[in-house]
Structure 1
Amino acid sequence: MKTKYIAASIAASALMFLAWGCMELSTTETVKPIKAVTKENTTWGFGKKDSSIIKLVAGASVSDDGKILSISDKVHNSGYINRAHTKEGVLKPDTDYFIKLKAKVEGEQSDKNFLHIIVRDLGTVFPDGDLERINVYPKLQAEEVKLKFRTPKTPTRYVLHFISHGKIKAEIADFSISLGKGEDFYPAMPNAPRYGGDLGKLPTGCPDFDIDAPKPAKDIVVNAADFGLNEQAENCATIINNAIAHCKKVGASKLVLPKGKYKIYQEEGIVFDSFTDFTFDGGGSTLVFRKDKGACNMRIKDCVRTVFCNFNMDWDWDTEPLAGIVKLVDKKVSSEKGKSYFEFKFTEYDKHPLYNKKIDVINLSCYDPILKAVGYEGGRGLSFGALGPNNPRPKTEWTSPNTLRVYDDNTRKIESYETGLLFRMQHYYYGLGGIALVNNKHQTLKNINIYSCKGHALVSDGQQQYFQLDNVNIVAPQGMGPRPITCTADHFHFARSRGFFKMQNCEFSLGADDCINIHDCSGFGIRHDDYTILINSKRDASCRPGDPVELRHSDYSKTNYKSKVKSNIVKDGIRYITFEDKLPAQTTKGFVIFNLRYDSSNILIRNCYFHSNRARGLLILTSNVTIEDCRFYHNEMGALKFETGYTMNIWCEGYGVNNVVVRNCKFDTSNPLGVKNQGKERDIFMGVYLGQDPSTEQTLYPIISNILFENNTFKDTFGLVSFIASSGNVIFKDNRFENPTPRKNPLPYRGTFFVTSSSNTKIVNNTYVKSPNVPNPGVYTDDNVSNIIVAGNKVVEE
């Protein structure tokens, strides 16, 4: 769409709204969109022979009318085969394109069989410069595919490729190429009258609930000092566990530690098991851990009505730092295997504690020395393999007391990084962990500081239910030397639970992954027989015989099937889950399994601060949630993510999202790394991943539903305020958007919304502070959006 047309339309709409604003205080009128796809800017089909825009490469043909591209399964191997691509010159430089098609792929259902559709320069086989990419897997119905991209300014040979992987045949129909973004636009206006129409039923979030305090029958207090606890010992976990055993023996109501700094340099962790009406009071002590393997630092399981309070948890940084700030000072590219390397200098050490000792290098995040946080606009990280504790690590070599050489045979990667860049280098990621909460009920953690730990700082697992954090902080300590990281994975990771969790007055920061990830584990499989589902993925929704389950279609629509697990067995590496009742017919590519034994719903988060971390702020993959009076700052990959999804062979998480309220929160500088969905950076993400994570495919079934954002402030958004997909009844009302800071890469959609595969979305009565950094305030929508209300969104002077 031409810029002149957009500007004229916005101006006309602005005059209309000014007139309305003089006549009345509110209106029930909604904004009419500026349409995107027109006859004038769209080409339909592949073209007949003389005017075809497609070049056939291998095992492909176009119908005589130019409407259908067919790909034969007679040409195949286990890898990639280029079947066809648009001719050179069809895609012009420096142009926005919207490509739409339907692809029906047939073949054995497997993660190795798919149609690979990409926009790539003909001059390369490498994916680095791809403008769009999507895989379409075999299934019964045709899948709608949309590609949106902008070609570079410099002359290139970009084309649209159709590539097969494995043995498939495919049919591509309803093909069109449109100039522009293919999105309708609803502009915000100066002096827009307030919308007074009916918004329908508003989400209510999570109602408050009580966490029961301990109710001991007797007041019996045990002091760990009586069991030899002292600051010189290095096996304080053993000493504290002896005191815990004595508490169990005498029926104590409380265990206390005299204030001190206690060393736990051993594999054994502190374990509280099966306590009722009990309090652990650390007395302000600090527990310092150091271990390479063994149990998590503290494990609390099967307890009822307990309080754990008044202690700090830390790591022995003097001996083994968990991370460090490094500068890339040198690099070498060699044709000889094993000779190429990066060379990094630790900027905060003259002599590193691990000099001339073994040191692992796992993940490097780009580092902002002014904000002292990872992630900045235009930055890139570096990864050296998988993140688990037992995965292979790159070869390293100390070249000076504070300089480390890291060998890597990926010469293209080495060439792409300039010397002088700063990173936070992690030496650990997953494994071990801080505090594990398993199968407890009515549990309180209060006045606790986790300064650092290996792995997740906090983990919820099993049937954990009715629990809370009050003034629990994951922060770096002051005045204790270089501390660029707190936990080396998530700050709080929910593997599964029974929900009813609240937290208040907490600060989470500087961790290596999400501040909070709340989900339950689902599974994905295909029908094996009338009662059995076959699962290829590593996760199976933790199904045990007797567990109640619900099945969803692969698009998350309801099957109306619930049953109980009869058996769960593994045979020849394949998992078979058998149910008590006959399975429904499989009409999509498989079934998603919800294990109803777990349900992490009912979440209250109040007056908390989430900032300066790698990855996202909060991942919400559950229902009945209230987030209010919280601050989100510099969350590297975005502030909030509401999602659910499955992969074909790795993880499957969440049972959907429903009934969420986000109120009176402040969002500032979210997603500095510029992470995108469907080519768009965003502060907030709502959507799914289907088959792979992330996926461009969404579902029209509203598995993400009833979400309300009201009275929030968004400052310095990098891209979209929110990407909204696979949703129903998402409401943004009475929010404020301020964007005073210019960006290195100004985005034309900065400060806007994008809605796709959604229904009943309402974006009303929001306020934009006028800014040259937000050229087009408003809402963009895809053509699969229904019943949207956009109104009352106004632009004001500061």
Structure 2
Amino acid sequence: MKSILATIALFLLASHCVLAGDVINVADHGIVPGEDATPKVNRLIESLEGQSGVTLEFPKGVYEFYPEHAIEKFRAVTNHDNSLKRLAFPLFGLEDFTLDGGGSTFLFYGRICPITLFQCGGVTLKNFSIDWDTPFHHELKVVQRNEKDNSFVAEISPMKHGFEVTDGKLLLNHYDWQDMIGQNIAMDPKTNAPYWQTKRYLLKAKSAKATKVGENRVRLQAATKVPPPVGAVLCTYGNAPTNRLAQAIHVDQSKDTTIENVTVYAAGGMALIAERSENISLDNVVVTSTEKRVLATRADATHFLGCKGLVKLTNCRFEHMADDGINVHGAYIKINEFDGERTFQCEISHRQQTGLVFAEPGDKVMITSRQTVLPIYETTVEDVVIHDQQFVSITLKDVPSDLPAGPLSLENLTWYPDVEMRDNVIRDNRARGALISTKGKVLIENNVFSNQMHGILIEGDNKAWYESGGVRDVTITNNLFGNIGYGTGENYPLYVSPLLLPEQNLGDDQYHGNVRFMNNRLKSFNGLLAYAVSVKGLVLSGNVIELSEDYPTGSELPSIELDHCKQVTIQDNQFIGFDWPLRVKQSVDNTEVVIKNNQGLSVPSDQP
């Protein structure tokens, strides 16, 4: 018996077979700092097929990953651009797997996607940072300005791949591609955030006339509405559809994913995009810029589409990204044709959702109106036939006999998560702090928000991004909101409203329900608190709003605006230090509104 066991042991060692529960030191497989780790990491991960309980451990160091010898697969990535993608860590079909970076930096070059989880269960990612040798954007630091001819001189960074000026146009070189001036934003080095009213300094590629005036300097004329101040950093990151090709972490059709002690400094897209996945936990995940850059990721810090279970964020810090901190939502897909029985010919609505797994047999779905974005009928999916990335046939268990005329959509009710956000910081970024459009239970507690646009946006739309999710149970409590809306001065800490086209209209019922914004502290230069449209069950209570003079003070907008709302309580809020009237504005069709015991807030004459 002993000889048989010894023979098996020798065989396993000889074949490098991995046993469940093994800890693999990557150095034992020739993976070391200072060389391209990609092909060896690819092969090592491939060897884990069929194994479970494995930990891949990196001794602390800087590991480099290049695209040339990476595995290549076509990947549909929601809210990004689908393409053949080079993958550094293709984690496909793994169970109870841990990637432990040991405090290492994973440094990437070019358009390579760092980490992809597909159909995995129980994966933990921990103890590493993700960065690129050169980021996906360029930073133009203003060193001279001339108001008379609306021009400025800027130093360009990074300069590793250089830049060109051709026929008066600035062309910025990357690893193996070139960008013109594209989507961009001006960052203020004094605050490390977007400028107050940053659109004044928006770069306009068509009118800009470029002249090279030094090895790393360019003069731009008629590129902005007014020349930016000296010291301003203009960040430009190319145009769609080529500026969202390389997300940092993609979690796809996976379950029970944990990400802890991970920092993302750059990405050609989002730091984390998750879709059709269940239970995702983030602890001490940081998205930020390096000391040498002012901008971090090209897009959102985190984004969750069509997930379920629990999305949990604790002790995270998201800052300096070029889009939102977190976005949680579902998707509306268009119904193009109904066969008169139970089958609908459907179309993925947005170009950056093509390839999305919208539904599978057994999922509960809602037929909704595209005219009012309101629900019509709830049923169950019986069959799905995928024709291509964009078109799908969906057969339902039953449909109403009086299916209304007019444009319709489908919304998946099964794949909506609960959300818990505690002790996080989301600040100094373009766009919003949190977008929450899920029918699950949501708790946002003890966080810090300071964002260029709305602090928390609860939306849902069937017109632009087709992000579904009229909320049902949201509690936002004991958070700190600092100087929300410094992009234009017109954004709210809480904005709850479906986004409608002019040809769309509000229906008889409310789209959102049960939103509680309570006991929060706000430092505000404009006195704005909440904007709500089509909400049933809105509570604004116990909030303290103090005047901040960090930005120009004052606003002509109402502090609270209500439209088509029902069962609203505005109570025990304190507005402190404002020297202009703060008011509540109501449309004619609000009902059951109670406003009382608010300090420094004007009560409409028709309220008690």
TM class by shorter chain equals 0.7 to 0.9
Residue of 229, 235, 240 corresponding to 1:425: 235
Match of 1:425, SS state, is: strand
Tell me, which stretches of 5 or more residues in structure 2 are unaligned? 1-17, 68-85, 165-171, 602-608
2:334 and 2:410 in contact (8 A); partners too = yes
1:272 alignment partner in structure 2: 91
Residue 466 of structure 1 pairs with residue 273 of structure 2? no
Match of 2:331, SS state, is: coil
2:248 alignment partner in structure 1: 434
Residue 777 of structure 1 pairs with residue 582 of structure 2? yes
Residue of 31, 36, 58 corresponding to 1:257: 58
Looking at both structures, which has the greater relative contact order when contacts are Cα pairs under 8 Å and sequence separation is at least 6? 1
- Deviation of 1:782 after TM superposition, in Å, equals 1.3
Residue 228 of structure 1 pairs with residue 30 of structure 2? yes
Residue of 456, 471, 476 corresponding to 2:289: 476
2:372 and 2:504 in contact (8 A); partners too = no
Residue of 141, 156, 159 corresponding to 1:326: 141
When Rg is computed on C-alpha atoms for both structures, the one with the higher figure is: 1
1:755 and 1:785 in contact (8 A); partners too = yes
Residue of 481, 486, 491 corresponding to 1:667: 481
Distance (whole Å) between structure 1 residues aligned to residue 394 and residue 143 of structure 2: 50
Residue 516 of structure 1 pairs with residue 326 of structure 2? yes
1:247 and 1:255 in contact (8 A); partners too = no
Distance (whole Å) between structure 2 residues aligned to residue 607 and residue 377 of structure 1: 29
2:332 and 2:349 in contact (8 A); partners too = no
1:365 alignment partner in structure 2: 185
Q: TM-score scaled to structure 2, two decimals?
A: 0.80
Distance (whole Å) between structure 2 residues aligned to residue 289 and residue 395 of structure 1: 33
Residue 642 of structure 1 pairs with residue 452 of structure 2? no
2:593 alignment partner in structure 1: 788
1:274-423 to structure 2, matched below 5 A, reads: 274-292=93-111, 294=112, 296-317=113-134, 322-327=137-142, 345-347=153-155, 353-356=161-164, 358=173, 359-360=178-179, 361-377=181-197, 379-380=199-200, 382=202, 398-404=212-218, 416-418=225-227, 420=229, 422-423=232-233
1:626-775 to structure 2, matched below 5 A, reads: 626-633=443-450, 635-647=451-463, 651-674=465-488, 676=490, 681-691=491-501, 697-718=505-526, 720-741=528-549, 744=552, 746-749=554-557, 752-772=559-579, 775=580
Distance (whole Å) between structure 2 residues aligned to residue 291 and residue 371 of structure 1: 30
Distance (whole Å) between structure 1 residues aligned to residue 55 and residue 304 of structure 2: 27
Match of 1:755, SS state, is: strand
- Deviation of 1:383 after TM superposition, in Å, equals 6.0
1:521 and 1:652 in contact (8 A); partners too = yes
Distance (whole Å) between structure 1 residues aligned to residue 53 and residue 587 of structure 2: 62
1:583-598 to structure 2, matched below 5 A, reads: 584-585=401-402, 587=404, 589-598=406-415
2:77 alignment partner in structure 1: none
1:28-177 to structure 2, matched below 5 A, reads: none
- Deviation of 1:417 after TM superposition, in Å, equals 3.4
Structure 2 counterpart of 1:497, one-letter code: C
Residue of 531, 550, 556 corresponding to 2:366: 550
1:181 alignment partner in structure 2: none
CA RMSD of aligned residues (A): 3.5
Structure 2 counterpart of 1:783, one-letter code: V
1:712 and 1:734 in contact (8 A); partners too = yes
1:666 and 1:713 in contact (8 A); partners too = yes
Q: Structure 1 residues 581, 398: CA separation in 2 closer, same or farther (over 3 Å shift)?
A: farther
Tell me, which stretches of 5 or more residues in structure 1 are unaligned? 1-215, 334-340, 386-391, 408-412
Match of 1:499, SS state, is: strand
Match of 1:771, SS state, is: coil
Match of 1:690, SS state, is: coil
Match of 2:476, SS state, is: strand
**Amino-acid identity (%):** 21
2:527 and 2:582 in contact (8 A); partners too = no
1:530 and 1:583 in contact (8 A); partners too = no
What are the superposed Cα offsets for residues 168-223 of structure 1, whole Å, 9 maximum, x if unpaired?
xxxxxxxxxxxxxxxxxxxxxxxxxxxxxxxxxxxxxxxxxxxxxxxx99531111
Match of 1:362, SS state, is: coil
Distance (whole Å) between structure 1 residues aligned to residue 216 and residue 481 of structure 2: 38
- Deviation of 1:331 after TM superposition, in Å, equals 9.7
Q: Structure 1 residues 342, 687: CA separation in 2 closer, same or farther (over 3 Å shift)?
A: same
1:343 and 1:404 in contact (8 A); partners too = no
1:433 and 1:457 in contact (8 A); partners too = yes
Match of 1:324, SS state, is: strand
Q: Structure 1 residues 351, 297: CA separation in 2 closer, same or farther (over 3 Å shift)?
A: closer
Distance (whole Å) between structure 1 residues aligned to residue 52 and residue 410 of structure 2: 42
Deviates more, 1:521-530 or 1:714-723: 521-530
Match of 2:500, SS state, is: strand
Structure 1 counterpart of 2:412, one-letter code: N
